[in-house]
Each structure stands twice: as C-alpha cells, then as structure tokens.
C-alpha cells in the first residue's frame, strides 16, 4: 500500500480544523471536555481530508465553574503534557500540549 504525501495547504487545513475541533470541546460545549489522548491515531480524516477528533474513551468532563481536574495519568507517552508526569491537576492546556506534539509530526511529515 503506497503512502500519499500531503501538500502544505492540505496539512494546514487539517491542523486548523483539528484545532477548531479541540477548541470547541474546550470552550463551547456545555461542560468542558479534556480529551486526554490527542495523537495522530485519534484524528480521523474523511475522503476530503476533513479531520474528526475521535476516541473519547479517556476524556474527562469538567463543569464550566472548574478550570482543572485531578485524575490518574492517562494518554499516550510522547504526547503527555509535563503536568501529567508530575501528577499536577490537569487543564485544557494538557490537550494543547498534545496538539503541539501532533503539529510537529504533521509539519515534519
């Protein structure tokens, strides 16, 4: 099976739409959702390369009145924010860190 390389415009559209999806469940859902496992395998692409964030099995819901949650370490090594490793409370910033790692992989090819 041959691998298709994506052009820069397509990569840009994927990362922007993925960021919009993550921002949606962080800021626009009634309860905030921290995904806890943002990684390439959990970003599904349709036939038009439109990304869908998937696999909410490790996700944590957080009421709007809260800004952080305490939970056991969860996620995929290599995409975990430093606060996971040091057992500090988790915020939506943990997903932003994981998204940054994903972004590096997309830019790096």
Which of 75, 79, 78 lies closest to 98 in space, CA to CA?
79
Q: Is the pLDDT of residue 88 over 90?
A: no
For 7-49, the pLDDT digits (tens) are 999 999 999 999 999 999 999 999 999 999 999 999 999 999 9
For 93-108, the pLDDT digits (tens) are 999 999 999 999 998 8
**Angstrom distance (rounded) from CA 72 to CA 53:** 22
Say which DSSP state 7 is in: P
pTM of the predicted structure, to 2 decimals = 0.87
Which among 37, 46, 55, 95 is annotated as catalytic? 37
Model confidence at 84, in pLDDT bands (50, 70, 90)? confident
Angle, helices 93-108/8-23, rounded to nearest 10 degrees: 170
**Angstrom distance (rounded) from CA 37 to CA 54:** 9
Instruction: Look up 55 and say whether it is catalytic.
Output: no
Which is it for strands 51-53 and 60-62: parallel, antiparallel or unpaired?
unpaired
> In terms of CATH, what superfamily is 8-108?
Transferase(Phosphotransferase) domain 1 (1.10.510.10)
Q: Is 43 exposed, middle or buried (0-12, 13-18, 19+ CB in 10 A)?
A: buried
User: What pLDDT is attached to residue 9?
Assistant: 95
């Amino acid at each position: 099976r041959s691998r298709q390389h994506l052009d820069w415009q397509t990569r840009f559209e994927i990362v922007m739409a993925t960021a919009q999806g993550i921002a949606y469940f962080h800021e626009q859902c009634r309860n905030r959702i921290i995904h806890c496992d943002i990684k390439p395998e959990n970003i599904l692409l349709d036939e038009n390369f439109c990304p869908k964030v998937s696999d909410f099995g490790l996700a944590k819901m957080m009421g709007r009145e809260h800004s952080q949650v305490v939970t056991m370490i969860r996620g995929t090594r290599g995409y975990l924010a430093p606060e996971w490793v040091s057992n500090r409370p988790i915020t939506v910033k943990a997903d932003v860190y994981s998204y940054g790692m994903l972004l590096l992989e997309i830019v790096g090819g």
